[in-house]
């Protein structure tokens, strides 16, 4: 399974040239294999960015998210109790961004790889990052 961080979802939808070649290849392969996913918290992050004027895809939040999901075969992974507990472990996640913690914990629990440009996430032990 390949999980897309929020930035990867946005880049893939609006500006694919911002993705690395390695990330683009991994996304295309995972999509073709039906193994592409994202975390539900990414939708909240997208909504917050749009509400703050930091993201303007030219449509409303709900339609933008629906377009992202329609463009690829993305499975949405919900936050489970196991993911919530793991994300709260300070010794694993030294930074304080709750969405990043949930995305990283989800990736670890599902033994997946994460597409992200976030270098902080790449420092988490055991987290396999593609960029």
Contact 87, 104 (CB under 8 A): yes
Structure tokens at 26: 């991994």
* In the chain, % of residues over pLDDT 90: 90
Mean of all residue pLDDT scores within the chain: 95
Q: Give the tens place of pLDDT for each residue, 60-109.
A: 999 999 999 999 999 999 999 999 999 998 788 777 899 999 999 999 99
Contact 50, 87 (CB under 8 A): no
At 59, which CATH number?
3.40.50.1010
Query: Residue 17 sits in which domain range?
Result: 2-130
pTM of the model: 0.94
The count of structural domains within the chain is 1
């Amino acid at each position: 399974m390949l999980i897309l961080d929020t930035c990867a979802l946005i880049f893939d939808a609006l500006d694919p040239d911002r993705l690395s070649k390695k990330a683009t290849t991994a996304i295309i392969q995972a999509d073709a294999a039906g193994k592409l996913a994202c975390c539900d918290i990414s939708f909240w992050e997208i909504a917050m960015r749009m509400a703050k004027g930091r993201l303007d895809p030219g449509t409303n939040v709900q339609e933008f998210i629906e377009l992202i999901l329609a463009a690829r075969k993305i499975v949405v992974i919900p936050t489970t109790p196991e993911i919530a507990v793991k994300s709260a472990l300070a010794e694993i996640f030294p930074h304080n961004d709750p969405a990043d913690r949930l995305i990283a914990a989800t990736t670890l629990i599902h033994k997946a790889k994460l597409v992200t440009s976030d270098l902080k996430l790449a420092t988490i032990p055991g987290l396999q990052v593609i960029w």
